[in-house]
Structure 1
């Protein structure tokens, strides 16, 4: 390795290469692979009868091997007199027509349009190492001059970003077509380093093309994927390089604390098709040889389930499956999948790239799933929010056989923003009796009919059910509160399921919602059967500003204030709510807006234990009592914060008075006839694990 250049100046120095080849001697030095690795793509773009100029030939055997298979019009040039003399002597008898000349590639003596192809293996990378790339630009200008119309510059490169940007922009400005092949190879455990080799093909036209033609291909025969601009090409190159580094790392080590993921795109469309997440087991865990490596295919519609969509869930899945390494595969929206066998066949050729180190030879890799089914999902609406970006509304079939509707922001596809259960309008009108039992899959067609509606009596989010159950703290349903109205201020609408439930099932509830995003309100009304009226109103605006305004104006108090707002900043360790919603100044304003019996309800999703303690300390400084209910298998917890400091029987989870209030609330909810069905909620069960925070 000490022969390799130590600086950019050495790369572009004639003296350096003269010394290099003198020290190297007769042993060929193959930059980026030999003829066997490159022949497929070379034969595709260079014809045997073409007149070819090989720039920066060095002492590579590539020209010799091409000559031996029929390429008889090869002119090789190099800046080193030593290597040119050596190569001429080596080929004088066996290949008399294979010529080697000492020529500077930036100023050649050849006539305009005198070659059909220029072949470059690593020379551009060496030239472009100069800081401003001036040397490389002079070489590319010379290449463009000597190539005839229809001629091709074929460059084998490691595709460093600066090199690709320089060369591609150069030829795009000339109006040439540009195509880039990524040559991926199987990774061996013996390799110490692995980056993919690319082959750049630039084709000269008689008239410059009015718009850029940029294409990228996987492998030597991959279908070209058309790109719009150079930035997209550079991004695609980075993805290939990252994948190559990742698979090398995965073949040489394991880390149970890391779960890297990669996206595989459709060969023809270039659209994302599979996302693969690698989950390793503990290094000290002993597993049978048959459990070294497995592939788990997540059914469509279940990617957001905690077990498959969170790092904690994926770790638990791998641990329960007892594999040394488990690759968890999620299928993408807007892609067609025939059946499980077809998916397995599609994944089989590439999964061994991700196998763990030390995997036994000829190891059979099992494919795992839930019930062996692909699942089902249908996107029914798409749109773009100016505040939250692209979103889609999709229908999926759950494990219980029921259909569910989800709102998902494409910036975070592992998170369901809102969800509702679908029922037929006829079934909704009949108000079927509530049942907590799972329903067996029915024989209904997979595609839902247009007569479906969102069941307002079914809350898909457990934290919403807990918030509703928290109304027991107000004594809702108790005889003495029979005709007492309940005023609710809610920040964050989502699909409107929680707000609609409160309006439909809580006697006397007056619900006021503040929603920042107009697009969310439209989605809620169009797709989630959200129906605002005189008891359920929505104000578009900033929740913090609205609370500040209410507190400043005075005169209006609420029995309940609810925060159920997602944070777009995941770097703080808290995804719900945004940090500004738990600042002391705002919490004081919330306190002042509550009636004496009022309750502040907060959906908290915080993975940082130190941050969580800090938030609880802030709330404790304002609210005398905080009750907490964590959601099983999720990070969510609901905090119920009251103005009054009732006795809690030495920290018991649920005081006797609250259990009685839970029964009264349950009765009150079930007495309503306003919703599309009876409420599916068990208040007492939800409150039994309530703890004093």
Structure 2
């Protein structure tokens, strides 16, 4: 039969503890650790000569060990008659000055201000579970009464949120100073320890209540205190330490190739996120060299959102290529300064062994891996706040291909690049070189200053944009028959304006209307991404759904191509692009009515939920008889190319030959129509139209 409580309420029951100690007998019960674990913090706050009241002492050896090292003024109380009798008998000869009394901690007989310290190991946790904390509040009131000015309540606790909130709020209201110590388990002892860390709450009584709360958090017994301003911040810090301790034990006692565990390390002084660490284990049975047990991979600045580092599939591929039993992938955060690789290694070295796999010695040398041994380069050029999308930043980064790129990132989802363009020196013809996945060592800084850089309008950074452009081949754009035939495009979603500007600059006879909900996005596109509307490229500010409905109601205007490239702000659903409302049957039917007979509907779909994707496809196919899909390599994106006409092809093998000639014609037309200021377009239509799938 288990001697541990079955329910929380039993902790505060006198009958439970009476049964507990009778069954346990002579064996001491060291709740939350013994003297050896706690002595450092106890000696810090309780002097040897202090008069100390130990509440809920149980049959712990803690008071006996403190007595043996010089604490002779200890008064131990417990609600259990059995344990008090046993402890008095056990210490009668060896420790005659150590007294144990059967006393209810909520109603003590001691005079006001009669003790210099009160020591509590687990009693607060036991009492706080009963009667919505009424017993605990009564005990804390007694603690405050019997302590002298300058006295301390030292409480060893697991810091369950409801318990610690009760105690901290109680003493803050009294104007006391409150400090929390998180005692981490020693490395190598995780297998025998609690998953949750032990905390020590230290509350100091002042003569005059403090008008402003003093709240502090310390890591370890000697850690420097971090000052906090609100109780909620202290509780949050406690939760973070608890989560880290659970994660640490999980990592040090087992491996799991599918877990994708991650944690964020913050700057000690500012509290801002500095590193995000993601753990990737090798699958069971993987042939890993004996010397390849554990390594740290530093992601270059500006590459955090790349598929290889940001997706579960990409990290698995990275770990497989590195071939270590455990690979910790480290991403650096914006608004933080990093000197060089050596400094980053030095900063991370003290904590990485917490994440080591089972069996790794504490003094193991851990290799740090990187791309070319460089930290990469990132420069923020603008920051602002959108009323619709929140805080954003525009930044220049150096890609792993050595090229410079400009990005728009909404900080509410910093792992997602909202828009990206390649930069080239102003008035210098852009290179024909297409972005490559080959990793080369980048230089530490750009060769041109930001002021002398401009956006390369012939280069599309997003692969799904390239597929959308390639879909124009389905309309025969560029063929002799299409010469001088106008082409109208409706695009929902502006971003940095790269896609609509490419269409305007390179596609013959095209007019483009872009619908953008956020006015700030338009301003950013103009200021930082070289977006220049004109009579062939107009922007309508407003809701895309409302614009589609209005166009359908007005009638008389049709489009050859309608493109949806808009992301969802709701991260709770399994589809991040487009918002669910854009693929409802009623909207899809309106889109269909707005297309010319030859028209194509191009939908950028990002959906990780297979059931949800199936539902979307069913709705789209109910409106559009022909649907072709193109999955983006190393991305979650796929592009659905939908047309109104019945398809005569039942499989992709019949589609590719019919598109081959059209792809060549479109390629020729794009090159012939390019503006004089660009050497683009950097796009291969035939390659993009390979591997189309009939849905």
- CA-based RMSD of the aligned residues comes to 2.7
Classify 1:168/1:674 alpha carbon distance in 2 versus 1 (closer, same or farther; 3 Å): farther
The 8 Å contact of residues 648 and 655 in structure 1, kept in 2 or not, is answered as no
Q: Secondary structure at the match of 2:75?
A: strand
Superposed CA deviations along residues 242-296 of structure 1, whole A, max 9, x for unmatched, are 2222222233333322212122222333222222222222213332322233322
Q: Are the counterparts in 2 of residues 653 and 688 from structure 1 also a CA contact under 8 Å? A: no
Q: What are the residue-to-residue correspondences of 1:372-391 with 2, within 5 Å? A: 372-391=373-392
Q: Aligned partners of 1:98 and 1:624: how far apart in 2?
A: 88
2:165 counterpart of 1:165 = yes
1:682 and 2:689 are equivalent in the alignment: no
Greater shift, 545-554 or 484-493, is seen at 484-493
Offset at residue 200 of structure 1 (A) = 0.9
Equivalence map 1:7-86=2 (5 Å): 7-86=7-86
Tell me which residue corresponds to 1:137: 137
> How far off is 1:674 after superposition?
6.8
Once the two structures are TM-superposed, the CA of residue 27 in structure 1 deviates from its matched residue by 2.9
Q: Indicate if the aligned counterparts of 1:654 and 1:689 stay in contact, CA closer than 8 A.
A: no
Check if 1:348 corresponds to 2:346: no
Query: Is the Cα–Cα contact under 8 Å of residues 396 and 403 in structure 1 kept in the other structure?
Result: yes
The 10-residue stretch of structure 1 (34-43 or 621-630) with the greater mean CA deviation from structure 2: 621-630
Residue 99 of structure 2 corresponds to: 99
Secondary structure of 1:326's counterpart equals strand
Inter-partner Cα distance in structure 2 for 1:616 and 1:143: 66
Equivalent residue number for residue 459 of structure 1: 460
Give the 5 Å matches for 1:484-503. Answer: 484-503=485-504
Residues 616-635 of structure 1 aligned to structure 2 (within 5 Å): 616-635=617-636
Whether contact under 8 Å (1:379, 1:393) holds in the other structure is yes
Query: In the alignment, which residue of structure 2 is the partner of 1:194?
Result: 195
Residue 324 in structure 1 maps to residue 325 in structure 2: yes
Distance in 2 separating the partners of 1:475 and 1:158: 70
Displacement of 1:133: 0.7
User: For 1:584-599, what aligned pairs fall within 5 Å after superposition?
Assistant: 584-599=585-600
CA apart distance, 1:612: 3.1
Greater shift, 561-570 or 604-613, is seen at 604-613
Between stretches 128-137 and 293-302, larger displacement belongs to 293-302
Say if 2:425 and 2:448, in contact at 8 Å, map to a contact too. no
Distance 1:651 1:22 in 2: 78
Q: 3-state SS of the aligned residue for 1:156?
A: strand
- Using the alignment, how far apart are the partners of 1:58 and 1:287 within structure 2? 50
TM-score, normalised relative to structure 1:
0.92
- Report the equivalent of 2:451: 450
Check the 8 A contact 1:154/1:199 in 2, yes or no. yes
Question: How far apart, in 1, do the equivalents of 2:654 and 2:177 lie?
Answer: 71
Verify the 8 A CA contact 2:154 2:201 in the aligned structure 1. yes
Q: Is the 8 A contact 1:652 1:691 kept in 2?
A: no
Secondary structure in 2 matching 1:405: strand
Deviation for aligned residue 1:50: 3.0
How many correspondences in the alignment? Answer: 690
Offset at 1:591?
1.0
Secondary structure in structure 2 of the residue aligned to 1:662: helix
Contact 2:380 2:395 in 1 (8 A): yes
Is the Cα contact below 8 Å between 2:303 and 2:400 reproduced in 1? no
Matches within 5 A, 1:276-355: 276-355=277-356
**Corresponding residue number in structure 2 for 1:435:** 433
User: Residues 380 and 51 of structure 1: is their aligned pair in 2 closer, same or farther, counting only changes over 3 Å?
Assistant: farther
- Given that 1:599 and 1:640 are in contact with CA atoms closer than 8 Å, whether structure 2 keeps it comes out as yes
TM-score of the superposed pair, with normalisation by structure 2: 0.92
Deviates more, 1:364-373 or 1:11-20: 11-20
Q: Distance in 2 between matches of 1:382 and 1:174?
A: 43
Task: Report the Cα distance in structure 1 between the residues aligned to 2:218 and 2:283, rounded to whole angstroms.
Answer: 37
Counterpart of 1:176? 176
Matched, 1:271 2:269: no
Specify the SS of the correspondent of 1:291.
coil
The one-character-per-residue Cα deviations of 1:606-661 (angstroms, maximum 9, x if unpaired) are 23344434433333332233232221122212122223346559643755553333
Structure 2 residue runs of 5 or longer lacking an equivalent are none
Quote the residue 2:149 is aligned against: 149
- The alpha-carbon deviation at position 391 of structure 1 amounts to 2.8
Matches within 5 A, 1:235-250: 235-250=236-251
